[in-house]
Protein backbone atom coordinates (compact mmCIF):
# COMPACT_ATOMS: atom_id res chain seq x y z
CA UNK A 1 0.00 0.00 0.00
CA UNK A 2 1.41 3.40 -0.96
CA UNK A 3 1.02 6.03 1.75
CA UNK A 4 -0.86 8.98 0.32
CA UNK A 5 0.71 12.43 0.17
CA UNK A 6 -1.41 15.55 0.57
CA UNK A 7 0.44 18.62 -0.63
CA UNK A 8 -0.64 22.24 -0.36
CA UNK A 9 0.52 24.53 -3.16
CA UNK A 10 0.01 28.05 -1.89
CA UNK A 11 1.27 29.69 -5.09
CA UNK A 12 1.78 33.47 -4.58
CA UNK A 13 -0.39 33.74 -1.48
CA UNK A 14 0.33 34.59 2.18
CA UNK A 15 2.82 36.77 4.03
CA UNK A 16 4.94 35.45 6.89
CA UNK A 17 2.31 36.55 9.36
CA UNK A 18 -0.45 34.78 7.44
CA UNK A 19 1.77 31.70 7.22
CA UNK A 20 2.29 31.69 10.99
CA UNK A 21 -1.48 32.07 11.50
CA UNK A 22 -2.21 29.14 9.20
CA UNK A 23 0.19 26.85 11.07
CA UNK A 24 -1.13 27.95 14.47
CA UNK A 25 -4.56 26.66 13.45
CA UNK A 26 -3.50 23.77 11.27
CA UNK A 27 -0.83 21.99 13.36
CA UNK A 28 -3.22 20.99 16.19
CA UNK A 29 -5.71 19.64 13.63
CA UNK A 30 -2.98 17.66 11.85
CA UNK A 31 -1.27 16.44 15.03
CA UNK A 32 -2.92 13.04 15.20
CA UNK A 33 -3.05 12.52 11.45
CA UNK A 34 -0.53 9.85 10.54
CA UNK A 35 -2.50 8.03 7.84
CA UNK A 36 -1.12 10.34 5.13
CA UNK A 37 1.98 12.42 4.59
CA UNK A 38 1.31 16.17 4.69
CA UNK A 39 3.43 18.88 3.07
CA UNK A 40 2.82 22.61 2.82
CA UNK A 41 4.50 24.57 0.01
CA UNK A 42 4.45 28.32 0.70
CA UNK A 43 6.26 31.10 -1.21
CA UNK A 44 10.05 31.28 -0.69
CA UNK A 45 9.98 34.13 1.86
CA UNK A 46 7.60 32.15 4.07
CA UNK A 47 9.60 28.92 4.11
CA UNK A 48 11.60 29.62 7.25
CA UNK A 49 8.46 30.69 9.12
CA UNK A 50 6.75 27.50 7.98
CA UNK A 51 9.69 25.29 8.94
CA UNK A 52 9.80 26.84 12.42
CA UNK A 53 6.05 26.52 12.87
CA UNK A 54 6.00 22.89 11.71
CA UNK A 55 9.01 21.83 13.74
CA UNK A 56 8.24 18.93 16.07
CA UNK A 57 5.17 17.95 14.02
CA UNK A 58 5.10 15.50 11.12
CA UNK A 59 3.99 18.23 8.71
CA UNK A 60 6.72 18.80 6.11
CA UNK A 61 7.53 21.98 4.23
CA UNK A 62 8.23 22.22 0.50
CA UNK A 63 9.22 24.91 -1.99
CA UNK A 64 7.38 25.66 -5.21
CA UNK A 65 10.44 25.88 -7.44
CA UNK A 66 14.24 25.78 -7.47
CA UNK A 67 17.14 26.46 -9.84
CA UNK A 68 19.35 23.67 -11.14
CA UNK A 69 22.69 25.39 -10.48
CA UNK A 70 24.34 25.25 -7.08
CA UNK A 71 25.01 28.99 -6.96
CA UNK A 72 25.97 31.78 -9.33
CA UNK A 73 24.83 34.85 -11.18
CA UNK A 74 21.17 33.87 -11.52
CA UNK A 75 19.26 36.87 -10.22
CA UNK A 76 16.05 35.97 -8.46
CA UNK A 77 16.75 32.24 -8.23
CA UNK A 78 17.02 29.83 -5.29
CA UNK A 79 19.15 26.65 -5.21
CA UNK A 80 18.46 23.19 -3.81
CA UNK A 81 21.22 23.67 -1.21
CA UNK A 82 19.57 26.84 0.05
CA UNK A 83 16.33 24.94 0.55
CA UNK A 84 17.86 21.99 2.36
CA UNK A 85 19.91 24.34 4.57
CA UNK A 86 16.65 25.52 6.19
CA UNK A 87 15.19 21.97 6.35
CA UNK A 88 12.84 22.21 3.42
CA UNK A 89 12.27 18.61 2.32
CA UNK A 90 10.03 18.78 -0.76
CA UNK A 91 9.90 20.83 -3.94
CA UNK A 92 7.27 21.22 -6.66
CA UNK A 93 8.84 21.01 -10.12
CA UNK A 94 7.40 21.96 -13.50
CA UNK A 95 4.04 23.24 -12.32
CA UNK A 96 1.94 24.20 -15.35
CA UNK A 97 1.93 27.86 -14.26
CA UNK A 98 5.72 27.85 -14.43
CA UNK A 99 5.65 26.14 -17.81
CA UNK A 100 3.01 28.57 -19.07
CA UNK A 101 4.17 31.94 -17.64
CA UNK A 102 7.87 31.45 -16.94
CA UNK A 103 9.00 29.50 -19.99
CA UNK A 104 9.88 26.29 -18.20
CA UNK A 105 10.47 23.51 -20.69
CA UNK A 106 10.72 19.74 -20.48
CA UNK A 107 14.48 20.26 -20.51
CA UNK A 108 14.65 22.69 -17.58
CA UNK A 109 12.19 20.47 -15.70
CA UNK A 110 14.59 17.56 -16.22
CA UNK A 111 17.54 19.56 -14.88
CA UNK A 112 15.56 20.72 -11.86
CA UNK A 113 14.38 17.19 -11.14
CA UNK A 114 17.91 15.87 -11.29
CA UNK A 115 19.30 18.48 -8.91
CA UNK A 116 16.41 18.09 -6.46
CA UNK A 117 17.05 14.33 -6.28
CA UNK A 118 20.80 14.81 -5.94
CA UNK A 119 20.19 17.04 -2.94
CA UNK A 120 17.85 14.60 -1.22
CA UNK A 121 14.71 16.65 -1.79
CA UNK A 122 11.42 14.90 -2.55
CA UNK A 123 10.36 16.34 -5.90
CA UNK A 124 6.70 16.66 -6.83
CA UNK A 125 6.96 16.63 -10.62
CA UNK A 126 3.87 18.12 -12.30
CA UNK A 127 2.64 16.90 -15.66
CA UNK A 128 -0.67 17.42 -17.43
CA UNK A 129 -2.40 18.37 -20.64
CA UNK A 130 -4.11 21.63 -21.61
CA UNK A 131 -7.74 21.62 -22.74
CA UNK A 132 -6.97 21.75 -26.48
CA UNK A 133 -4.70 18.72 -26.11
CA UNK A 134 -7.39 16.76 -24.28
CA UNK A 135 -10.00 17.69 -26.87
CA UNK A 136 -7.67 16.67 -29.67
CA UNK A 137 -7.15 13.25 -28.03
CA UNK A 138 -3.52 14.03 -27.24
CA UNK A 139 -3.58 13.56 -23.46
CA UNK A 140 -1.59 10.31 -23.50
CA UNK A 141 1.00 11.67 -25.93
CA UNK A 142 1.53 14.77 -23.83
CA UNK A 143 1.90 12.82 -20.59
CA UNK A 144 4.31 10.39 -22.23
CA UNK A 145 6.44 13.18 -23.65
CA UNK A 146 6.55 15.11 -20.38
CA UNK A 147 7.51 11.98 -18.41
CA UNK A 148 10.09 10.67 -20.88
CA UNK A 149 11.85 14.04 -21.02
CA UNK A 150 11.63 14.67 -17.28
CA UNK A 151 13.06 11.22 -16.46
CA UNK A 152 15.80 11.45 -19.11
CA UNK A 153 19.24 10.40 -17.80
CA UNK A 154 18.01 9.75 -14.25
CA UNK A 155 18.63 6.31 -12.75
CA UNK A 156 16.07 4.37 -10.71
CA UNK A 157 18.41 4.53 -7.73
CA UNK A 158 18.67 8.29 -7.94
CA UNK A 159 14.93 8.69 -8.57
CA UNK A 160 13.93 6.86 -5.38
CA UNK A 161 12.13 9.86 -3.82
CA UNK A 162 10.33 10.88 -7.01
CA UNK A 163 6.66 11.79 -6.70
CA UNK A 164 4.55 12.80 -9.70
CA UNK A 165 1.42 14.96 -9.74
CA UNK A 166 -1.03 14.62 -12.60
CA UNK A 167 -2.51 18.08 -13.03
CA UNK A 168 -4.75 18.56 -16.04
CA UNK A 169 -4.24 22.25 -16.78
CA UNK A 170 -7.93 22.79 -17.57
CA UNK A 171 -8.82 21.70 -14.03
CA UNK A 172 -6.43 24.04 -12.20
CA UNK A 173 -8.17 26.91 -10.47
CA UNK A 174 -11.23 26.48 -12.67
CA UNK A 175 -13.53 24.51 -10.38
CA UNK A 176 -13.58 21.77 -13.04
CA UNK A 177 -12.20 18.51 -11.69
CA UNK A 178 -11.17 15.47 -13.66
CA UNK A 179 -13.48 12.58 -12.84
CA UNK A 180 -11.80 9.88 -10.75
CA UNK A 181 -11.79 7.70 -13.89
CA UNK A 182 -10.04 10.37 -15.99
CA UNK A 183 -7.41 10.74 -13.27
CA UNK A 184 -6.95 6.97 -13.00
CA UNK A 185 -6.49 6.65 -16.78
CA UNK A 186 -3.85 9.39 -16.78
CA UNK A 187 -2.10 7.89 -13.76
CA UNK A 188 -1.81 4.56 -15.54
CA UNK A 189 -0.06 6.25 -18.46
CA UNK A 190 2.38 7.94 -16.06
CA UNK A 191 2.97 4.71 -14.14
CA UNK A 192 3.68 2.94 -17.40
CA UNK A 193 6.29 5.57 -18.33
CA UNK A 194 7.86 5.22 -14.90
CA UNK A 195 8.06 1.47 -15.46
CA UNK A 196 9.78 1.99 -18.83
CA UNK A 197 12.28 4.38 -17.26
CA UNK A 198 12.89 2.82 -13.85
CA UNK A 199 11.47 -0.72 -13.82
CA UNK A 200 8.37 -2.41 -12.51
CA UNK A 201 9.10 -2.36 -8.78
CA UNK A 202 9.83 1.32 -8.91
CA UNK A 203 6.65 2.03 -10.85
CA UNK A 204 4.55 0.08 -8.37
CA UNK A 205 5.87 2.08 -5.46
CA UNK A 206 5.77 5.47 -7.22
CA UNK A 207 3.26 7.88 -5.75
CA UNK A 208 1.15 9.74 -8.30
CA UNK A 209 -0.96 12.57 -6.93
CA UNK A 210 -3.93 14.22 -8.57
CA UNK A 211 -4.20 18.02 -8.69
CA UNK A 212 -6.77 20.40 -10.14
CA UNK A 213 -9.68 21.86 -8.14
CA UNK A 214 -9.45 19.33 -5.32
CA UNK A 215 -11.97 20.50 -2.70
CA UNK A 216 -13.42 19.10 0.53
CA UNK A 217 -16.48 17.83 -1.38
CA UNK A 218 -14.63 15.89 -4.09
CA UNK A 219 -11.60 14.68 -2.11
CA UNK A 220 -13.18 11.44 -0.91
CA UNK A 221 -14.18 10.25 -4.38
CA UNK A 222 -10.70 10.95 -5.73
CA UNK A 223 -8.79 9.57 -2.74
CA UNK A 224 -10.79 6.35 -2.61
CA UNK A 225 -9.21 5.31 -5.92
CA UNK A 226 -6.33 2.92 -5.31
CA UNK A 227 -4.47 4.46 -8.22
CA UNK A 228 -4.58 8.00 -6.77
CA UNK A 229 -1.84 8.37 -4.17
CA UNK A 230 -2.72 11.80 -2.86
CA UNK A 231 -3.50 15.33 -3.95
CA UNK A 232 -1.77 18.57 -4.84
CA UNK A 233 -4.17 21.24 -3.64
CA UNK A 234 -4.07 24.92 -4.59
CA UNK A 235 -6.97 27.20 -3.67
CA UNK A 236 -8.55 24.90 -1.10
CA UNK A 237 -5.28 24.58 0.83
CA UNK A 238 -5.10 28.24 1.83
CA UNK A 239 -7.66 27.87 4.58
CA UNK A 240 -6.63 25.51 7.41
CA UNK A 241 -10.17 24.21 7.89
CA UNK A 242 -10.72 23.47 4.23
CA UNK A 243 -7.32 21.76 3.91
CA UNK A 244 -8.07 19.75 7.08
CA UNK A 245 -11.35 18.58 5.56
CA UNK A 246 -9.47 17.38 2.48
CA UNK A 247 -6.88 15.70 4.73
CA UNK A 248 -9.71 13.88 6.49
CA UNK A 249 -11.25 12.55 3.25
P1 LIG B 1 -6.18 24.30 -7.59
O2 LIG B 1 -4.62 24.29 -7.95
O3 LIG B 1 -6.40 23.29 -6.50
O4 LIG B 1 -6.45 25.71 -7.13
O5 LIG B 1 -6.93 23.95 -8.84
C6 LIG B 1 -3.90 23.08 -7.99
C7 LIG B 1 -2.48 23.34 -8.40
O8 LIG B 1 -2.24 24.24 -9.22
O9 LIG B 1 -1.55 22.68 -7.92
- CATH number, domain containing residue 71: 3.20.20.70
pLDDT at 125: 98
Ligand 1 contacts CB of residue 167 (under 6 A): yes
pLDDT tens digits for range 72-128: 999 999 999 999 999 999 999 999 999 999 999 999 999 999 999 999 999 999 999
What is the Cα–Cα distance from 42 to 33, expressed in whole angstroms? 21
- What is the band of 37 on the pLDDT scale with cuts at 50, 70, 90? very high
Q: What was the pLDDT predicted at 104?
A: 97
Statement: residue 142 has pLDDT above 90: yes
109 lines ligand 1 (CB under 6 A): no
* 187 band by pLDDT with thresholds 50, 70 and 90: very high
Which amino acid residue places its CA nearest to atom 9 of ligand 1?
234
| Closest CA to ligand 1's atom 3 | 234
**209 in contact with ligand 1, CB cutoff 6 A:** no
For the stretch 215-225, pLDDT in tens is: 999 999 999 99
Closest ligand 1 atom to 236 CA: 3
* 211: containing domain: 5-247
Residue 172 near ligand 1, beta carbon < 6 Å: yes
- Per-residue pLDDT at 33: 96
Asked if residue 67 lies in contact with residue 90, where contact means CB atoms within 8 angstroms, the answer is: no
Q: Report CA(135)–ligand 1 centroid distance (Å).
A: 21
CA-174 nearest atom, ligand 1 = 5
Distances from the Cα of 235 to the Cαs of 55, 89, 162, 215, 240, in angstroms? 24, 22, 24, 8, 11
- pLDDT given for residue 38 in this prediction: 98
Ligand 1 mean position to 54 CA, how many Å? 22
**Ligand 1: distance of its center to the CA of 71 in Å?**
30
Ligand 1 proximity of 234 Cβ (cutoff 6 Å): yes
Q: Is the pLDDT of residue 1 over 90?
A: no
Percent of the chain with pLDDT over 70: 100
Total of domains in the chain: 1
What's the rounded Cα separation, in Å, for the pair 91 and 113?
A: 9
Range 144-173 average pLDDT: 97
Question: What is the 2 CA–ligand 1 centroid distance (Å)?
Answer: 22
Q: What is the mean pLDDT of residues 227-232?
A: 98
Residue 235, ligand 1, Cβ within 6 A: yes
Q: Give the span between the Cα atoms of 135 and 54, in whole angstroms.
A: 42
For the chain, how long is the longest CA-to-CA vector?
Answer: 48
Residues 227, 1 contacting (CB under 8 angstroms): no
Mean pLDDT of the chain: 97
Closest ligand 1 atom number to CA of residue 215:
3
User: With a threshold of 0.85, does the pTM exceed it?
Assistant: yes
Asked if the model's pLDDT at residue 175 lies above 90, the reply is no
Q: What is the pLDDT of residue 23?
A: 98
Is the C-beta atom of 242 inside 6 A of ligand 1? Answer: no
Catalytic residues: 95, 167
Model pLDDT, residue 153: 98
* Number of residues in the chain: 249
pLDDT category of residue 180 using cuts at 50, 70 and 90: very high
* H or E stretch at 124: strand 122-127
Ligand 1 atom index nearest CA of 213: 5
Name the β-bridge partners of 233: 8
Amino acid sequence: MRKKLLAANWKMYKTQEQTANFFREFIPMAAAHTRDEIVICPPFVDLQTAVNAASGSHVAVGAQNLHWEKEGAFTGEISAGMLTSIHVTHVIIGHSERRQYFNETDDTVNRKLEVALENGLTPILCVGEVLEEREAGLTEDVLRRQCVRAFNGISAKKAAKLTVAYEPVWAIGTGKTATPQMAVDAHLVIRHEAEEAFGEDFAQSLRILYGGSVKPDNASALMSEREIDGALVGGASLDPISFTKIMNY
